């Protein structure tokens, strides 16, 4: 089974950090459904953590039930990132992940995220300084390079391995591509080939067990990180793990999925407050809807719901409908 440093993961499937989506409320739902090896917070700036700003504290929150979990940091100041890493460990992180993949201008404009792919010396210094600051495994999540003319990820990974990094996660696109085009599996394979011992986790566009198996076969990666496909299907880890390992699994019924969605709504209400929970579920119900069959009325009720009680009541009507204890729906992405 996959181990990152001395942290052993139950499966080789990881939930990607997705800012605005993969917060604690959602991560707990994915965890409870099974099949998931590691979760990660969204990218956090160490300044916000060290100042304990209200916004950072909410996003940095980790729960007993989700271990092992990584906290992801971004920035370009090695000493500040090292202090942030210590803060992360003191606040429950089992691993620290360094973001070298975010292509968003707000992050790269301040030399963080994927901009570090253009600054090998600084990137290395960051890794060395953070590595020396904490005793837990340290990982780097990166893209293949800044653009097609500078596919630096294999060289970076080799270099980072020498500095004592414990794993790299590679999204098989360049920063310039953002989310366009397809994931470059050859690019990921070059990262696997460049490293000697550390696991390389492949990432990008995985929606099904076939996609995952294809990425593993084509690249030799040790694990798979899934982001966008999990947003409407927190049960994807459970399903993919069973398929990839040939484990027989009772398919989830529509009722089981509705209960998971209800759990998400409850978690959000408790952790982030009713207003945010309502705003999020109004958007998310369309993504969830694709796995539930014909649920136009449910989607419309939730989109117009004036409060969380209405959302929960509309879910309960379907949860209590005996038909939904029998029905299983295969998502179109599977
Ligand atoms: C809205 C959005 C927010 C994201 N936030 C983060 C982030 O905070 N940290 C990070 O490393 N990657 C972030 N990513 C990138 C994902 O972790 C992942 O690398 C990417 O979506 C490709 O994987 P996927 O095809 O499985 O979604 C984000 C992606 C999206 C679409």
Residue 32, C-beta contacts closer than 8 angstroms, at least 6 positions apart? 65, 260, 263
Q: Which two tokens stand for residue 317?
A: 């009507």
**Could you list the active site residues?**
102
Q: Are strands 3-4 and 7-8 parallel, antiparallel or unpaired?
A: antiparallel
CB of 29 closer than 8 Å to CB of 241: no
Spacing, Cα 167 to ligand 1 middle (Å)? 18
- Categorize the per-residue pLDDT at 78 as very low, low, confident or very high, splitting at 50, 70 and 90: very high
CB of 167 closer than 8 Å to CB of 198: yes
**Per-residue model confidence as pLDDT tens digits over 140-153:** 999 999 999 999 99
Ligand 1 environment, Cβ below 6 A: 16-20, 42-43, 72, 99, 101-102, 141, 171, 203-206, 226-229
Q: How far apart are CA 129 and CA 125, in angstroms?
A: 6
Q: How far apart are CA 148 and CA 152, in angstroms?
A: 10
Q: Which two tokens stand for residue 57?
A: 């504290």
> What average pLDDT is seen over the chain?
96
Q: Which two tokens stand for residue 231?
A: 């947003």
Which of 17-31, 212-226, 283-297 bottoms out in mean pLDDT, i.e. has the lowest?
283-297
Ligand 1: which atom is nearest the Cα of residue 101? 11
Global pTM value? 0.97
pLDDT of residue 334: 52
Spacing, Cα 103 to ligand 1 middle (Å)? 10
Q: How far apart are CA 205 and CA 226, in angstroms?
A: 8
Q: What is the full DSSP assignment across 54-101? A: HHHHHHT---GGG-SEEEEE--S-HHHHHHHHHHHHHTT-SEEEEEE-
Spacing, Cα 327 to ligand 1 middle (Å)? 32
pLDDT > 90 in the chain, percent: 94
251 three-class SS = coil
Q: Which of 229, 226, 218, 214 is nearest to 191 (CA)?
A: 218
**Per-residue model confidence as pLDDT tens digits over 154-191:** 999 999 999 999 999 999 999 999 999 999 999 999 99
Ligand 1: which atom is nearest the Cα of residue 183? 25
Ordered structural domains, the chain, with CATH:
3-245 (3.20.20.70), 254-326 (1.10.1200)
């Amino acid at each position: 089974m996959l181990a990152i440093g001395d942290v052993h993961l139950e499966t080789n499937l990881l939930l990607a950090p997705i800012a605005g989506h993969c917060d604690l409320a959602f991560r707990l739902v994915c965890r409870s459904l099974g099949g998931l090896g590691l979760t990660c917070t969204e990218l956090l700036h160490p300044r916000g953590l060290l100042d304990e700003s209200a916004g950072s504290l909410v996003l940095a929150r980790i729960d007993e039930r989700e271990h092992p979990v990584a906290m992801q940091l971004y920035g370009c100041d090695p000493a500040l990132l090292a202090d942030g890493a210590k803060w992360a460990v003191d606040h429950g992180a089992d691993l620290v992940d360094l973001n070298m993949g975010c292509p968003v201008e707000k992050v790269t404009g301040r030399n963080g995220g994927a901009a570090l792919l253009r600054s090998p010396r600084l990137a290395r210094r960051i890794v060395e300084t953070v590595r020396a600051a904490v005793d837990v495994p340290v990982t780097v999540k990166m893209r293949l390079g800044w653009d097609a003319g500078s596919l630096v990820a294999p060289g970076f990974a080799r270099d980072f391995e020498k500095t004592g990094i414990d794993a790299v996660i590679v999204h098989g696109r360049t920063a310039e591509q953002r989310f366009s085009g397809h994931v470059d599996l050859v690019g990921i394979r070059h990262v696997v080939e460049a490293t000697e011992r550390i696991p390389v986790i492949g990432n990008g566009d995985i929606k099904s067990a076939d996609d995952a198996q294809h990425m593993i076969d084509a690249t030799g990666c040790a694990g798979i990180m899934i982001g966008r496909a999990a947003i409407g299907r927190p049960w994807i880890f459970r399903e993919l793990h069973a398929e990839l390992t040939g484990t027989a699994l009772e398919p989830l019924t529509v009722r089981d999925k509705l209960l998971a969605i209800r759990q998400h709504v409850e978690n959000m209400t408790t952790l982030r407050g009713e207003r945010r929970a309502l705003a999020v579920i109004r958007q998310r119900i369309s993504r969830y809807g694709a796995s539930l069959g014909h649920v136009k009325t449910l989607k419309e009720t939730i989109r117009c719901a004036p409060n969380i009680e209405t959302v929960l009541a509309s879910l309960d009507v379907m949860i209590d409908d005996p038909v939904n204890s029998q029905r299983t729906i295969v998502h179109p992405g599977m």
